[in-house]
Chains A and B, each alone.
Chain A
Amino acid sequence: GENVGLHLPTLSVQEGDNSIINCAYSNSASDYFIWYKQESGKGPQFIIDIRSNMDKRQGQRVTVLLNKTVKHLSLQIAATQPGDSAVYFCAENADSSYKLIFGSGTRLLVRP
């Protein structure tokens, strides 16, 4: 499968701890943001999204925080599990072309 983890920033956490993955976006006009999870040999899988009129959104065990002032997005995973090990990508969109702009990704490793 794809070597998704090569040359990527890596976050290593203990199973059961909380994880925080950060992303800086570049376009101040972006108004929609998504977090994707990519496991080895698979395509990106939707986790959670947030619109620019919000600064926080919660899902099951995941929370996305948006700080438009500093153009920063974060993904918080509560009680991290081994199955959370993957590469996480943030993506932004700013126009009607439906084109997503992805970040470079962060590899999450969960230690048992």
Chain B
Amino acid sequence: EAGVTQFPSHSVIEKGQTVTLRCDPISGHDNLYWYRRVMGKEIKFLLHFVKESKQDESGMPNNRFLAERTGGTYSTLKVQPAELEDSGVYFCASSQRATREKLFFGSGTQLSVL
């Protein structure tokens, strides 16, 4: 069974540009979560989808970040315009049911904003 996959694995962009990160959850997993780790600090929650609906987006830092999950399958996280402080690793996780237990994480996208 394929795990959670994220694209790209690395992205280097200039300040002010737009970047779109993609996450493909494990097949059949209705719940999808985005987390990020910036400046080598702790991993922080961004948001939680149940199918195509945003269940909790309390961790989204500002309106430069837009997450979508059209059709309830894969999800995208767009940063527009990117700022230097957005650099970090963006992780996606999924679970079959809404749970705080045993999330399956992807390998992450390393975003560098120059």
Known: A8-B40, A98-B31. A43 touches B107 (CB 8 A): yes
Q: A34 to chain B: which residues have CB within 8 Å?
A: 101-102
Known: A2-B89, A98-B100, A100-B100. A43 touches B105 (CB 8 A): yes
* Nearest residue, chain A, Cβ from B31: A98
The answer to whether B48 and A98 touch across the interface, beta carbons within 8 angstroms, is yes
Q: A49 to chain B: which residues have CB within 8 Å?
A: 101-102
Is B74 part of the binding interface, using a Cβ–Cβ cutoff of 8 Å? no
Contact of A43 among B44, B45, B58, B106 (CB under 8 A): B106
* Nearest residue, chain B, Cβ from A2: B89
A35 to chain B, nearest CB (A): 12
In A48-75, the 8 Å CB interface with B consists of 49
Q: B41 to chain A: which residues have CB within 8 Å?
A: 104
The answer to whether A44 and B105 touch across the interface, beta carbons within 8 angstroms, is yes
Q: A103 to chain B: which residues have CB within 8 Å?
A: 42
The answer to whether B99 and A98 touch across the interface, beta carbons within 8 angstroms, is yes
The answer to whether A102 and B43 touch across the interface, beta carbons within 8 angstroms, is yes
The answer to whether A43 and B108 touch across the interface, beta carbons within 8 angstroms, is yes
The answer to whether A102 and B102 touch across the interface, beta carbons within 8 angstroms, is no
A residues sitting closer than 8 Å to B (CB atoms) are: 1-4, 6-8, 32, 34, 36, 41-46, 49, 89, 91, 93, 97-105
B residues sitting closer than 8 Å to A (CB atoms) are: 4, 31, 33, 35, 37, 40-45, 48, 55-56, 58-59, 89, 91, 93, 98-103, 105-108, 110
